[in-house]
């Protein structure tokens, strides 16, 4: 067992005192409906630590559930409450397979002293964000993007990432209406001949991602213009 209930109880005592439900350091659940939803997620025979609550005050102590199964109710949706379910795995590979079998998470937390484990999990899983040997802090770190992926959300914010997410990049192409300008694009108009098809295939295969920034691209464009002129006036 990689966690110690006794050590966790010592931490709970340090954080919240002997009677945890009376601790002023605990936040209330927002309303009775959400409190009852959280209460329904707890299997009392699975409680390793915590589990105390006061429904009249909507207070629930941090609760750790052991030996949870993937199909348990607590594993089906975001919890939004002080409940931590623990699913036991044999090794890192099994943990990765478990993560990949479910929707991509908003956050992934890795706790290990082994850097190889960090790298393996980070490279073989997909998540909105991740933290190593910490939790939540990546949310308040302005220098890195925060956001989801897949079912956990789209886009990210913080700094430039936030600007890019909420800014639409509009692509605009401009050309004049001169006969010379139109000549270069005359291949797109019918009638379509074998010569036109061969020339268009040649041009498309030779094109680069950014036009006119390299001599090779410029030469290809000029050759295309020449060939277009020849096809337009000699083969039509």
Q: Which of 136, 132, 128, 124 lies closest to 92, judged by CA?
A: 124
Token representation of residue 141: 């770190």
Residue ranges per structural domain of the chain: 5-153, 179-234
Query: Are 120 and 79 within 8 A, CB to CB?
Result: no
**CATH C-level class of 5-153:** alpha beta
Task: Quote the radius of gyration of the chain (alpha carbons, Å).
Answer: 30
Predicted confidence pLDDT, tens digits, the chain (236 residues) = 456 778 888 888 899 887 788 999 999 999 999 999 999 998 778 899 899 999 999 999 999 999 999 999 999 999 999 999 999 999 999 999 999 999 999 999 999 999 999 999 999 999 999 999 999 999 888 889 999 999 898 888 888 888 888 888 899 988 888 777 777 677 788 888 888 888 888 877 876 554 445 555 566 666 666 766 665 655 55
CA 103 to centroid of chain Cα atoms: 10
């Amino acid at each position: 067992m990689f966690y110690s209930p006794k050590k966790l109880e010592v931490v709970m005592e340090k954080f919240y005192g002997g009677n945890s439900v009376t601790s002023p350091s605990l936040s209330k659940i927002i309303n009775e409906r959400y409190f009852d939803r959280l209460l329904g997620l707890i299997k009392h025979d699975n409680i390793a630590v915590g589990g105390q609550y006061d429904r009249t005050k909507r207070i629930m102590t941090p609760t750790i559930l052991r030996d949870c199964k993937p199909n348990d109710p607590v594993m089906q949706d975001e919890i939004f409450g002080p409940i931590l379910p623990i699913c036991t795995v044999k090794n890192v590979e099994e943990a990765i397979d478990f993560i990949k079998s479910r929707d991509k998470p908003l956050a992934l937390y890795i706790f290990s002293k082994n850097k190889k484990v960090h790298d393996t999990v980070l490279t073989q899983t997909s998540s909105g964000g991740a933290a190593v040997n910490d939790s939540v802090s990546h949310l308040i770190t302005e220098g890195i993007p925060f956001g989801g992926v897949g079912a956990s959300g789209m886009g990210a914010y913080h700094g430039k990432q936030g600007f890019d997410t909420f800014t639409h990049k509009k692509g605009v192409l401009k050309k004049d209406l001169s006969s010379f300008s139109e000549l270069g694009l005359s291949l797109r108009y019918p009638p379509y001949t074998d010569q036109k098809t061969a020339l268009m295939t040649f041009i498309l295969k030779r094109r680069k991602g950014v036009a006119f920034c390299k001599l090779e691209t410029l030469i290809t464009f000029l050759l295309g213009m020449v060939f277009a002129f020849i096809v337009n006036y000699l083969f039509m």
